[in-house]
Structure 1
């Protein structure tokens, strides 16, 4: 077993400048300034959305959280838990390793109480595209499954994230701003969790869809350079503004090679391995209220098993990557 094989999973360079800027809130004038004014907006990769089956009695599904009669509402509180874990081991290349991903794995969990405010999107600024909705997320004092790390997470209270999106849920740009006094480890963990929450936002197809209908959303996970994700949504129920969805995840590596630079890897040190197989096991169901920007309940969890092999070696590497997002935890 060794631990330095995993390439960095989360891109932080895009937000590095924003993370060092002071958080300015409040003013002596009667109006509060935009705390994210002047913070760079970074483009989000646009996923490919494909309708598979229109289902019965199809209708257009669109977020209504930014319509005029909802603007007087208080910020919406929700608690979301993000779990992540990677395990890896050296294994013989004799076919004895099961290529099928297990159902779950060892994870560390970050739990964030969020305050979410949605408004009609302003005119696009520098680096932004036209959008219908602006979603502002503020993290409260979070918790971590590792109690020793919990204080670092809690100290990033006030971390802000804002994205611009279409009524279908497609996100175009994101801004990030951490409290200036927050410790680096805490803000990195909160940033990672917030990006995971944003990436898990449900995106609806342009075409109408009804009960039994399904579609896929395919693209790179924001903040993760290593994996591409295809999410399949299936409508299991509709009532008013509520939509029930079964969710299936299929992850695949964006790069098919892995260079090992770790003396602890023994014979594998210095070798380049190829992806021999990739398999994902997932389970998910979420409840979406079209008047809310995030699912109001449910969980989506997946584990992807990657098997790397290399020519001239009797051993390869088995890597299991587990992630989950749980909505409404604690409520």
Structure 2
């Protein structure tokens, strides 16, 4: 195909979930609740970590605050556009905006994968080498590891995006999802995508699968090295929240990206899980299973004056 004929498609049509207005209205309310809950929960965790001296000085909670920020970014890449499309008759997205959405989706998503791996290493050091924990996991090292996670996500996303924009798009333009992602977009290319698909599956699939294996290996190492039943119980309690977050995030990602880019009927639901639901659940998982975070949140609530005001009204 002549180069002058490439990129004829200037906008894509997103499939969305339904064409029935009443169903779309109900989904708008539901996903707006999800998105608002994501903001409230993650901002609350960031504010709690930043305001509490103990949490702010702890490597674990420093990483948790960064995870909350990534969750906010990740959800914001797709959810606002999804909410707007629930109110639109035709769900259009310009080509340039589609590529930008695709770039940030993989940028933030890969950065979160790397950060979750860093958090597993942090727990491994804390439990296996408690006396040297603060020395090994210094604030300087934590900042370097967080920056490396962002850089790794950027490099991964740049590679994926460059491979995508080099493809010619001349129709059809119906993206079989509610956002622009590599699997449904490159299927619309007017070219043989076998090699590109192989490279992308190798890239995305390798990152998600290898990170997941490293995470499981870290937690297995923790359990193997701890001999006592009481120690294992405490380790499971400490790592349980991490394992739930890892499973919720990595499971869907491996399902979507670690296989050839063929379409399954459950792909949209799986995409909702890791794009919308997981960023909302992460704050709940970490706070409900963590007494230190709940105590710090109570202190923040009291310092804000809202807690005292409420108790004063109850006494009256």
Q: TM-score, normalised by structure 1?
A: 0.22
Q: Which of the two has greater strand per residue?
A: 1
Structure with higher Rg: it is 2
Q: TM-score, normalised by structure 2?
A: 0.23
